[in-house]
Amino acid sequence: MVELRRGDVIRQTYTVEEHLGSGAFGDVYLVRHRYMGMQAMKVLDRADNPNDRDSGLQEAFVLSKIGHPNVVRIFEANHIHDSDESPLYVTMEFVKGADLEHLIDEHGGTYPIDQCISLMRQAAAGLAHAHGMDPVIVHRDIRPANLLIRHNQSGDELLVGDFGLAEHVNESLGFLPSAGSIPYESPEGLEGYEGPASDVFSLAICFFELVTGSFPFDLSKDVSAYNESNFQQKIAVGHKKGHRSILSLRPNTPPEFVAALRLSLAVDSTLRLSDGLMLEDVLRRCENCLASHPWPVNADAQPASDVVISMLESALRKKYVEDERLEANELFAKIENLSSNLQGRFNCFID
């Protein structure tokens, strides 16, 4: 095991500045590259198992193929010393800020809706890039701690990090062995298989928490309270019972965003938005709806009715999942006729 201290120099290139945290396979340090400035270095010093070392190299390999503004960039992978038996490190972009877990803890249920949609769209954009590669790359471990937030004057920017569990989808099966964090796992992931729609489900759980301040399913997220098989069983039961009502937790959530979250949390993956490309498009249109038709945000505003939300969810499913665009457009038009404050609102979904 390697323990780095401030001032240590690695391969005459990286100077250790501070220890940032620990994970399953090792530690993360803030280092200064002699030419390129600050970077994050993940040292896999607990990776005595060859499979763990392979996972670290897999992260480097996968990330090296993903170049997108909403994905953490990787720079190099190597051994700490010249020996191939010495610990591996991976250097990557240092994102100064927090992560979605911190935002949920500090602002869950009160974070501005427009910024919730923006951050989720950015995460979807990063996933869309990975899901659009040939062969497809699935993240497999989407959770709040892996969604990093960079604070800018123009607004918060989200980057998807830690592709350590990511892998190419088997082209014949279209799925991967399950490996993600159990509370954020998709229903099909609990059964042992994952695809791009699994990332969509996990991302929707994360943003359900940010929007409402609550975990969507009726159980604790604390894995230590259960043994693994029992916890998986409880999660599966929670999935079947369905998620909590978004509008009961945050009544002023715009209806199109509620419908998008509900569609992304469909237990049956064939009824869910199938990948990040679809989700990004839906969320971009949600942003356009909100920009052109601001939704009342005061506490006394009447929430959208269940009828409106259900019809919207059906319209989005027809448009994106079933590819029945004419039927979807007709349904959007019917929804707008239900209330004067909906008229013209869903033009952004019609094309």
Q: Per the residue annotation, which of 141, 162, 199, 275 is the catalytic one? A: 141
Contacts of 194 (CB under 8 A, 6+ apart): 138, 140, 175, 176, 177, 178, 179, 180, 186, 188
From start to end of the chain, where are the E strands?
9-10, 14-22, 27-33, 37-44, 74-79, 88-93, 97-99, 137-138, 147-152, 155-160, 167-168, 176-177, 193-194
Single out the residue of 154, 157, 59 nearest to residue 99, CA to CA.
Answer: 157
The rounded Cα 89 to chain-centroid distance in angstroms is: 25
Verify whether residue 141 is a known catalytic residue. yes
Angle between helices 325-336 and 306-316 (to 10 degrees): 160
Cα separations (Å) of 314 from 59, 92, 113, 231?
38, 41, 22, 32
From start to end of 45-87, where are the E strands?
74-79
Contacts of 115 (CB under 8 A, 6+ apart): 155, 156
Tokens standing for 113?
């809706």
Active-site residues, by number, are 141
